């Protein structure tokens, strides 16, 4: 497993990351976060009947992590996505992985 993640990381073109269109990156990031918030938060609300708990479920599930890296790596290796799209996806995966726990902590009571 560590070799796979090293291989996937080595495929990232740093020039592509520097040249990412920030608007497109922000749009994809927003869609990724909102998609998980709604896709997991709505069923959470239906079952739990708590808006706050549903929001926490959506935020907690927003992180893409290893699964996103694996899917993006397979897509790139098989030629389904280009290096620019791969760099954007890796950026979104990194940001959601970092931001989700922070947002989750901010929505949790400090008691």
Sequence ranges of the domains in the chain: 2-106
What are the φ and ψ backbone dihedral angles of 42, each rounded to 5 degrees? -65, -50
Give 111's DSSP letter. -
List the pLDDT tens digit at each of the 111 positions of the chain.
678 778 877 888 888 888 889 998 999 999 999 999 999 999 999 999 999 999 999 999 998 888 888 899 899 989 999 988 999 999 999 999 999 999 999 988 765
pLDDT at 1: 66
Q: What is residue 111's predicted lDDT score, i.e. its pLDDT?
A: 54
**What pLDDT was estimated at residue 19?**
84
88 with 17: CB under 8 angstroms? no
Four-point Cα dihedral 69, 73, 75, 79, nearest 10: 160
């Amino acid at each position: 497993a560590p070799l796979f993640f090293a291989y996937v990381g080595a495929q990232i073109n740093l020039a592509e990351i520097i040249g990412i269109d920030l608007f497109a990156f922000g749009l994809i990031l927003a869609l990724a976060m909102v998609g998980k918030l709604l896709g997991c938060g709505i069923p959470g609300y239906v079952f739990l009947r708590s808006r706050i708990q549903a929001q926490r479920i959506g935020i907690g599930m927003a992180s893409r992590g290893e699964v996103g890296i694996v899917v993006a790596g397979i897509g790139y290796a098989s030629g389904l996505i280009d290096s620019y799209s791969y760099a954007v996806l890796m950026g979104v995966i990194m940001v959601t992985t970092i931001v989700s726990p922070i947002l989750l902590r901010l929505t949790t009571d400090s008691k």
